[in-house]
Amino acid sequence: MKIAKRALRRHHIQRVKNNRKTFWGNSVNISNRRLGICASTPCVCSCWMCGNQRKYYGASFSDKKRSLIIGS
């Protein structure tokens, strides 16, 4: 069972790499390192539009509500 999971995981990583060869405006002749980075983190930056909303806007309403319920 473990070998099948590994094969499936490798298959999906290769599939994502093939789809993202021209991601970020790159050419098809992208380096293996840059292709791996693009496959694992598709977002180029961490600006207010792309980054985590908690960093820029604070906790969401559901997070605040959950902390009140759990904290009591």
Number of domains in the chain: 2
**Residues 51, 70 within the same domain:** yes
Give the model's pLDDT for residue 61: 87
For tokens 């539009």, name the residue: 49
**Residues 36, 52 within the same domain:** no
**Residues 34, 21 within the same domain:** yes
Question: In terms of Cα–Cα distance, which of 6, 9, 30, 8 is closest to 18?
Answer: 30
**Residues 2, 36 within the same domain:** yes
**Residues 34, 54 within the same domain:** no
What's the rounded Cα separation, in Å, for the pair 22 and 9? 22
What's the domain range around 51?
A: 46-72
Q: pTM value?
A: 0.57
Return the SS3 of 46: coil
**Residues 8, 33 within the same domain:** yes
pLDDT tens-digit map of 43-59: 777 788 877 788 888 88
